[in-house]
Chain A
Amino acid sequence: MSDTTHTGPVLAADGTPLKRSLRRALRAQKLRALALIAPLLLFVLLTFIAPIADMLFRSVENQITGKTLPMTVEELRDWDGTGTPDERVYRALFFDLFFAAEGKEHTKLGSRLNYEESGISSMFRTTGRDVDDMGKVYQKAFKKLNPAFDEGAFWYEMMSGGQGAEGNTKLLSNQIGRLEMLETTTFKGEIGFVPGAEIYKILPNTTRAYTAFAAFTFFMKNDVVAEEDPWEAVYPALALDLAEPATVAALADYQGPGAQELRDAAAQIDTLPPVDMKAAFAESNKDWLRTEYWQVIKAYSPPYTTGYFLNAIDMEKTPNGIALRSEDERIYGILFKRTMFMSMVITFSCIALGYPIAWIMANLPARSANLLMILVLLPFWTSLLVRTSAWKIMLQQQGVINDVLVWLGLVADESRLVMINNQFGTIVAMTHILLPFMILPMYSVMQTIPQTYLRAAKSLGANNWTAFWRVYFPQSVPGIGAGSILVFILAIGYYITPEIVGGTTGTFISNRIAYHISSSLNWGLGAALGSILLAVVMVLYYAYDKIVGIDNVKLG
């Protein structure tokens, strides 16, 4: 024993410190245990934690704007938020929206932004139908100048720079990347087209638009690029490029395919309709000139947003910063408070009703206790919907309770009590439904309290109340704690019972979450509300641990 007080480390038989050797032995054991629970751990992680994390992540995720309108977002960065953005933004918008509309992705962005400002959805939808026509104007004009501009083969030759020309693979991978981003997939394979490096320097917009077309044609339509006529967006791009004086100068020395046609077209550029995308968008839908819509697009262009969370606490983003919503739109604060309040009332009702039952069950002989147990569990085994509907029949104005009261003469026929479609109905039905969750943990804790303690207290002179309050009750608190946590946490997430019997004053926050998940499809807001609810539960759990101590909770 004396060498254990030695200052040096305790050594094992083989000379290594005992601590390390013990740890090594335990590590192997732990690893074996971990390997045994690994399948379960993986299962829980994959099927439970990961989907929940993914869903909660949606409460801040907002990549859709940058994904659908990448160039517009870039150009909007310099906009000061007053009036309307300048022509550059509308040009970027045209190419973005054209691309998105071909992939049918633009309406998703419209629905997303419509959550923030009504009307944006239809603006995207109507203009998505018109972008083809905006390009067709220039397609026709170029065709009139020279029919060659309407031929797929001519375009392919011109844009690739002809056989053996130096290609710009960076532009190509850029445009494929953009398509991948829009469609959220990855594409592999040679598309059979590489934009020419020289032509890209002269006609940057046109080459970019054509490359986007090529990538889309190959990956989305499974067509051969060289055989397809380019889509309408390349024509406004060409008109834009040819209108630049620098292009005209560069074209003079250009010898690649289509050089003569391009020079001729540049010479007659004045005969083409001028490119005014702002006017074209305004003509398609005048809402494109509304400052507040552009403010929303700008405010919701970063890939992550606090917008959903602000919304979930009745606030909103305005040009002047974050502000409370107007009074007639505030709803979540009321619902959170109501959910907390009603869940507490339900928990206390469950304690009040469940405690005597658990006590009787714990003190009866086993046979009678089992019978009582079955009575407690019987409703537990009945469908939740059936029990909730049964309460409807009991509580409604033409229902059983009111009928009995009227028959007894306690209530006049004209003034039957309103006991359903309000808070009262929800509290009654939910107390009934959650009662077993309170009784069971209480019962299993009370069973372990020896009856001799009560007798001993009484023999020492305590009266019934003192014996109960000072001796029995403190020992049953862990059961109450476990039951309360169970009931409270189940109650704040309850959805179906408040939906059926809650009317307007007895609904919970979970009803709104369900609405946003399945009806309005605003999953981001639903996720934000869910995250807040989860956080509240965790805070309450922490508080409970601090005040009562979680070690005092016993489920059996």
Chain B
Amino acid sequence: MKLTKTLLATTALTVVAGTAVTAQDMADSMTLVSWGGAYQASQNKAYVDPYLANNAGVSATWDESSAEAVAKLRAMNEAGNVTWDLVDVVASDAMRLCDEGLAMELDHDEDLAAAPDGTSASDDFGDLIVSDCFVPQIVYSTTFGYRTDLVPAGVEPPTSVCDVFDLAKYPGKRSLQKRPIDNMEWALYCDGVAKEDIYPTLGTDAGVEKALAKLDTIKDQVVWWSAGAETPQLLADGEVFMGSTYNGRLFSAIAEQGQPIAMMWDMQSFDLDGWIVPAGLPADRLARVMDFLKFATDTQRLADQAAYISYGPARASSAPLVGKHADLGIDMAPHMPTDPANASNVHIYDYEWWADNRDDLDAKFQAWLVQ
């Protein structure tokens, strides 16, 4: 070992442009793909920076392309040149990538660290491992925020998702995501469909019509968003009274920017976000990325991430370790979507169902939008 190092040092000295080979035959750079913004910053602080500090000579490059990850990976695969090493995607995209053979299947117990008490990784993550290719990191939710100062005088602040559809009680514009997912379910729920009947109802033509009819009642009061930053901005400008977005975005508008906005957790829609490893990486890059992945998804690292952003860690063993916000010093637990007080009435988003019906419902939804 020592000899190798000395040799390497001499080589490095003599060959100026020489590339160092690490003792473990690992590549010395990684390309990580994420969403940018506060979320990527939390990843950087919680595990990328510490990992790089532990492994001198390794560098990490970010590519903020998670939103188009599936399309780009498919194109890279067809071109035969995958330049990414680790990609942060939502669960439904991970399933699609796994289905198409674009993501590598993992052995969660072997490739990931066990919990401190010895619980295996697959038990620690539990049901959140929705695909063999997927390592969940966080639980986030799509939920509503509203302007506290725009609540009509003498009226209680909104507490139910159905208040979104109640224009008489809460006048003003709403912002909703420009896609059928979540909106259709909320519409049916507020049209009196029981939670367990939502997907069976949505599977019928009559059910789709019913959901769209409910959305029709607020259609001219809706601003449709496609980027997660839009709703906080619309709320901050007072353009809309209430709007849906990712809970972490609302947290930063409320806690970090002090906007007069409040959360409405009712029927929040849980979703997962995590890593996938692209299929077909060369051995040295794969070795490096697996080493990083093991470190970045252990119990402590996932708990650390929660100090920077209000998304729940995906490991059960991380939950008790969630502490205070790194800069604001406030307790993070009550801001987590998984906190019992916030999760009293949640909407469980059905990946399988949407994987099948997405194309069809999207055509109908978009046609409804433009008409």
Chain A residues in the interface with B (C-beta under 8 A):
104-105, 107-108, 110-111, 114-115, 118-119, 121-122, 125, 328-331, 334-335, 338, 396-399, 421, 499, 503-505, 507, 512, 517-522
B238, B356, B369, B370: the one contacting A114 at CB < 8 Å is B356
- Could you tell me the distance between the alpha carbons of A499 and B368 in the complex, rounded to whole angstroms? 17
Would A396 and B239 be within 8 Å (CB), given that A107-B99, A517-B71 are in contact? yes
Given A118-B357, A331-B367, A331-B370; A111-B99 close (CB under 8 Å): yes
CA of A254 to CA of B239, assembled, Å: 85
**Contact status A105-B359, CB under 8 Å:** no
B224 touches A114 (CB 8 A): no
Q: Given A114-B356, A504-B370, are A398 and B239 neighbors across the interface (CB < 8 Å)?
A: yes
A378→B228 CA distance, assembly (Å): 30
Interface pair A119/B357, CB less than 8 Å apart: yes
In whole angstroms, what is the CA distance A121 to B355 when docked? 8
- B100→A503 contact, CB < 8 A: no
A122 contact set on B, CB distance < 8 A: 352, 355-356
Can you show 30 pairs from A to B with CB atoms below 8 A apart?
A105-B101, A107-B101, A108-B101, A111-B96, A111-B99, A118-B357, A118-B359, A118-B360, A119-B356, A121-B356, A122-B352, A328-B209, A328-B364, A329-B363, A329-B367, A331-B363, A334-B371, A396-B237, A396-B239, A397-B173, A398-B237, A421-B223, A504-B224, A505-B370, A507-B370, A518-B68, A520-B359, A520-B362, A521-B96, A522-B359
Q: Assess the A512–B366 pair: CB atoms within 8 A.
A: yes
Question: Bound complex: CA of A330 vs CA of B370, how far in Å?
Answer: 10
> B333 contacts the other chain (Cβ, under 8 Å)?
no
Chain B nearest CB from A248 CB (Å) reads 42
Chain B hits for A330, CB < 8 A: 367
B74 at interface, CB cutoff 8 A: yes
Q: Please give, as numbers and ranges, the residues of chain A lying within 8 Å of B362 by CB-CB distance.
A: 520
Q: Return the chain B residue nearest A393 by Cβ.
A: B237
Q: Establish whether residues A115 and B352, one from each chain, have CB atoms under 8 Å apart when the complex forms.
A: no
CB <8 Å contact, A114 and B359? yes
Q: Is the CB of B360 within 8 A of A499?
A: no
Size class of the contact patch on chain B: 35 or more
A322 to chain B, nearest CB (A): 17
CA distance A328 to B362 in the complex (A): 11
Q: Which of B178, B239, B352, B370 has the most CB of A within 10 A?
A: B370
Neighbouring A residues of B209 by C-beta, 8 Å = 328
Q: Does B81 contact A (CB under 8 A)?
A: no
> Measured between alpha carbons, how far is A115 from B370 in the docked complex, in Å?
20
B345 contacts the other chain (Cβ, under 8 Å)? no
CB of B352 within 8 A of CB of A334, answer no
Contact of A521 among B71, B226, B364, B371 (CB under 8 A): B71
Give bound CA distance, A512 to B366, whole Å.
Answer: 9
Q: What 0/1 pattern do residues 328 to 369 of B give for CB contact below 8 A with A?
A: 000000000000000000000000100111111111101111
Known pairs A107-B99, A504-B370 / 16 extra A-B pairs, C-beta < 8 Å:
A105-B101, A107-B101, A114-B356, A118-B357, A118-B359, A118-B361, A121-B355, A329-B364, A334-B371, A338-B370, A398-B239, A421-B224, A504-B224, A518-B71, A519-B71, A520-B359
Could you count the A-B residue pairs with CB atoms below 8 Å apart for me: how many are there?
A: 79
B135 on interface, CB distance cutoff 8 Å: no
Residues from chain B with a CB closer than 8 A to the CB of A512 are 366
Q: Is B70 an interface residue when CB atoms closer than 8 A count as contact?
A: yes
Known contacts: A122-B352, A521-B74. The answer to whether A504 contacts B359 by CB under 8 A is: no
Question: Considering the chains assembled together, what is the distance between the CA atoms of A331 and B70 in angstroms?
Answer: 25
Given A114-B356, A396-B239, A520-B358: A504 and B100 interface contact (C-beta under 8 Å) = no
Min CB gap A310→B, angstroms: 13
The one of A104, A115, A338, A421 that contacts B101, using a Cβ cutoff of 8 Å = A104
| CB <8 Å contact, B100 and A111 | yes
Determine whether the beta carbon of B356 is less than 8 Å from that of A118.
yes
Interface centre among A104, A335, A512 (most CB of B within 10 A): A104
Chain B residues contacting A328 (CB-CB under 8 Å) are: 209, 364, 367-368
Bound Cα distance from A407 to B163, whole angstroms: 32
B352 / chain A contacts, CB cutoff of 8 Å: 122
Cβ contact of B226, chosen from A104, A119, A338, A499, cutoff 8 A: A499
Complex alpha-carbon distance, A115 and B101, angstroms: 19
What's the least CB distance linking B163 to chain A, in Å? 21
Q: How far is the CB of A144 from chain B (nearest CB, A)?
A: 32
B-side contacts of A121, CB under 8 Å: 355-356
Mark out the residues of chain B between 241 and 278 whose CB falls within 8 Å of any chain A CB in the assembled complex: none
**CB closest residue in chain B, given A503:** B224
Q: Report the separation of the CA atoms of residues A543 and B245 in the bound assembly, to the nearest whole angstrom.
A: 47
Q: Which A residues touch B371, using CB under 8 A?
A: 334
Q: Is the CB of B359 within 8 A of A334?
A: no
Assembled-state Cα–Cα distance A118/B358 (Å): 8
Query: Which residues on the B side are within 8 Å of A517 (C-beta)?
Result: 71
Q: How far is the CB of B358 from chain A (nearest CB, A)?
A: 7
A230 to B298, CA, bound (A): 39
> Inside 8 A of A125's CB, which chain B residues have their CB?
99, 355
A397 touches B224 (CB 8 A): no
Q: B217 → chain A, closest Cβ, in Å?
A: 16
Contact A115 B359 (CB under 8 A): yes
The minimal Cβ–Cβ distance linking B281 to chain A, given in whole angstroms, is 17
Which A residues touch B358, using CB under 8 A? 520
Q: What chain A residues lie within 8 Å of B96 (beta carbons)?
A: 111, 521
Task: Please give, as numbers and ranges, the residues of chain B lying within 8 Å of A518 by CB-CB distance.
Answer: 67-68, 70-71
Closest to A519 in B: B71
Cross-chain contact A504 with B364 (CB below 8 angstroms): no
Contacts of A521 in B (CB 8 A): 70-71, 74, 96
Task: Say yes or no: A503 contacts B368, CB within 8 Å.
Answer: no
